[in-house]
């Protein structure tokens, strides 16, 4: 019986070693799979960061271009306003000179009429 117990014990011991080996192998496989998944996720994260950075740069460039366009239009509007103001000033000056000239003509005519009426 002792021999049989020894055999049973050896069989159980072998099975235990086999189970330990299977568990170790499964653990190692899972560890490798986890490391591969970790590497894959790190690569994805790196790619996402790069895409995000490019998108931010694209948006910033677009905003800068838009601001430059607005600045250009504002400058054009200011130049146009200044031209209009200058034209209005010139028209005002011309109208003032004409009014002064017409007033002096009226004054001359008034004096001539007065002098003619005094002569009569």
What pLDDT band is residue 72 in, cutting at 50, 70 and 90? very high
pLDDT digits (tens, 9 = 90+) for 18-70: 999 999 999 999 999 999 999 999 999 999 999 999 999 999 999 999 999 99
Q: What beta strand segments (E) does the chain contain?
A: none
The pLDDT, as a whole number, for residue 105 is 95
State the average pLDDT for the chain.
94
Rounded (10°) CA dihedral 105, 111, 113, 117: 180
The pLDDT, as a whole number, for residue 51 is 97
Q: Given the structure tokens 């504002």, which residue do they identify?
A: 74
Token output for 4: 């049989």
Nearest in space to 57 (alpha carbons), one of 45, 47, 49, 69: 49
What pLDDT band is residue 8 in, cutting at 50, 70 and 90? confident
pTM: 0.54
Q: What is the CA radius of gyration of the chain?
A: 51
The pLDDT, as a whole number, for residue 120 is 64
Token output for 100: 């002064």
Q: Is 81 left (phi over 0), alpha (psi -120 to 50) or beta?
A: alpha
């Amino acid at each position: 019986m002792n021999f049989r117990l020894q055999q049973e014990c050896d069989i159980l011991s072998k099975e235990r070693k086999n189970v330990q080996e299977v568990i170790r192998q499964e653990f190692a496989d899972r560890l490798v799979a986890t490391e591969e998944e970790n590497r894959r996720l790190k690569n994805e994260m790196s790619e996402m960061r790069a895409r995000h950075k490019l998108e931010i740069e694209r948006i910033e460039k677009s905003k800068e271009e838009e601001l430059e366009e607005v600045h250009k239009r504002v400058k054009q509007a200011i130049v146009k306003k200044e031209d209009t103001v200058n034209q209005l000033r010139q028209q005002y000056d011309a109208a003032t000179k004409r009014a002064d000239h017409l007033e002096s003509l009226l004054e001359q005519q008034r004096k001539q009429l007065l002098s003619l009426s005094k002569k009569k």
